[in-house]
């Protein structure tokens, strides 16, 4: 067997090195990470911001999805937002995503102080003020945000999302509340819901709720809420409740955010 000539081997090596040298690598960024100070909470908070691909050249204003538990959901939710707005899909308009990273989840998302819970609770009112006074004004000052605002949260953050609707419905246009803990602190959220229904006979908002199959208090209180809203929902409140019976508490979230946004922007809103 003849040996390869050294010159041929060198030439082959040179070509391979040249091809590798011509490969160009660039960062592909999904969004921006920003640290801002919350005067309400007296602490620094990190947010993640996704912008539509044509943001820099369009000059348009965009709806904003405010997403809780940002460290968990920013990447996949940004992909959903990008996909739903793309040509030939066009289920939603192009949107921004503002995902808030947690510092004290139990504190910020819990609507009341529940003795014995595993962390400090009862800070939801302060966190609503943080969104309203610190985070949202920053976004509206520094980005081209339209007046359409959506709040989305899962589990305890879903509880906070529903609590925000029940206490400060004017802040957001639509709400995606996933697995809200309705049995929280002696059924606090159910009592709040009933109080809200009794006070509001008309409400121009959209609410999408989804939850996994469960038993016990989770299932019974969710059914009570659905019965309550079916019987007493304010006029003009668009709402939908979905049971994700083939998924777990964590596996359905991606699907539910997709379907929730689809429902909010559905052209047929009858």
For residue 15, the model assigns a pLDDT of 52
Is 2 part of a structural domain of the chain? no
* Among 142, 162, 146, residue whose Cα is nearest residue 154: 162
Q: How many domains does the chain have?
A: 1
Model confidence pLDDT, tens digit, residues 189-204: 899 999 999 999 999 9
Q: What angle do CA 191, 196, 199 make, to 5 degrees?
A: 130
Tokens in use for 202?
């008309």
Is 222 part of a structural domain of the chain? yes
For residue 31, the model assigns a pLDDT of 95
Residues pairing with 176 in the sheet = 152, 208
Q: Mean pLDDT by 10-residue block, N- to C-terminus, for the chain (270 residues)?
A: 53 54 84 97 98 95 98 98 97 98 94 69 92 98 98 96 96 97 84 93 96 79 92 95 89 97 82
Is 18 part of a structural domain of the chain? no
Boundaries of domain holding 63: 26-264
Is 7 part of a structural domain of the chain? no
Is 6 part of a structural domain of the chain? no
For residue 112, the model assigns a pLDDT of 82
Is 227 part of a structural domain of the chain? yes
- The CATH number assigned to the domain holding 260 equals 3.40.50.1820
For residue 247, the model assigns a pLDDT of 85
H-assigned helices in the chain: 6-22, 55-58, 70-85, 105-109, 124-130, 136-142, 156-167, 184-199, 216-232, 253-264
Q: Please give the model's pTM, rounded to 2 decimal places.
A: 0.89
- What Rg value do the Cα atoms of the chain yield, rounded? 23
Is 78 part of a structural domain of the chain? yes
For residue 32, the model assigns a pLDDT of 96
DSSP track, 12-69:
HHHHHHHHHHH---------EEEEEEETTTTEEEEEEEE--TTHHHH---EEEEEESS
Tokens in use for 135?
């985070």
For residue 217, the model assigns a pLDDT of 77
């Amino acid at each position: 067997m003849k040996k390869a000539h050294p010159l041929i081997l060198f030439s082959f090596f040179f070509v391979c090195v040249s091809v590798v040298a011509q490969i160009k690598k660039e960062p592909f960024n999904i969004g921006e990470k920003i640290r801002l100070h919350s005067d309400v909470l007296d602490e620094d908070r990190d947010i993640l911001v996704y912008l539509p691909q044509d943001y820099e050249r369009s000059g348009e204003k965009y709806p904003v999805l405010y997403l809780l538990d940002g460290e968990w959901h920013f990447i996949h939710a940004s992909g959903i937002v990008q996909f739903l707005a793309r040509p030939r899909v066009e289920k939603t308009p192009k949107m921004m995503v503002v995902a808030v990273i947690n510092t004290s989840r139990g504190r910020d998302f819990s609507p009341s102080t529940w003795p014995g819970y595993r962390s400090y609770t009862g800070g939801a009112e302060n966190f609503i003020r943080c969104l309203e006074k610190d985070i949202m004004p920053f976004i509206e000052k520094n980005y081209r945000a339209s007046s359409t605002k959506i709040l989305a949260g899962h589990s305890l953050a879903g509880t906070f999302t529903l609590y925000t609707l029940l206490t400060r419905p004017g802040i957001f246009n639509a709400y995606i509340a996933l697995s809200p803990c309705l049995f929280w602190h002696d059924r606090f959220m159910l009592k709040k819901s009933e109080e809200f229904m009794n006070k509001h006979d008309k409400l121009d908002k959209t609410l999408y709720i989804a939850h996994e199959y469960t038993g016990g208090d989770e299932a019974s209180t969710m059914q009570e809420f659905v019965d309550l809203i079916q019987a007493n929902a304010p006029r003009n409140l668009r709402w939908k409740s979905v049971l994700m019976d083939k998924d777990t508490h964590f596996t359905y979230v991606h699907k539910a955010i997709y379907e929730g946004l689809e429902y909010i922007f559905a052209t047929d809103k009858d």
